[in-house]
Amino acid sequence: MFLAVVCCLLWCLQISTGHFPRACASSKSLMERECCPLWEGDGSPCGQRSGRGSCESILLSSAPLGPQFPFRGVDDRESWPSVFYNRTCQCSGNFMGFNCGDCRFGFRGANCTEKRLLVRKNIFDLSVSEKDKFLAYLTLAKHTISPDYVIPVGTYNQMKNGSAPMFNDINIYDLFVWMHYYVSMDTFLGESEIWTDIDFAHEAPGFLPWHRLFLLLWEQEIQKLTGDENFSIPYWDWRDAESCEICTDEYMGGPHPANPNLLSPVSFFSSWQIVCSRLEEYNRRRVLCDGTPEGPILRNPGNHDKSKTPRLPSSLDVEFCLSLTQYESGSMDKAANFSFRNTLEVFSNSGSEGTALFKKFTQ
- Residues 62-93: tens digit of each pLDDT: 887 777 788 889 999 998 999 999 999 999 99
Longest Cα pair distance anywhere in the chain, in angstroms?
A: 61
Q: Residue 100's pLDDT is what?
A: 98
**Predicted pLDDT of residue 334:** 86
Segments in 80-152 forming alpha helices (H): 128-142
Residue 219 CB contacts under 8 Å (≥ 6 apart), including other chains: 118, 231, 232, 233
Q: Could you report the per-residue pLDDT of 209-230, keeping only the tens digit for each? A: 999 999 999 999 999 999 999 9
| pTM across the whole model | 0.89
| Integer Cα distance of 152 and 156 in angstroms | 9
> What confidence category does residue 363 fall into, taking pLDDT thresholds of 50, 70 and 90?
very low
Sign, CA torsion 336/339/340/346: positive
pLDDT tens-place string over residues 149-207: 999 999 999 999 999 999 999 999 999 999 999 999 999 998 889 999 888 899 889 99
Instruction: Name the band, by pLDDT with cuts 50, 70 and 90, for residue 349.
Output: low
Q: Mean pLDDT, to the nearest integer, of 329-358?
A: 72
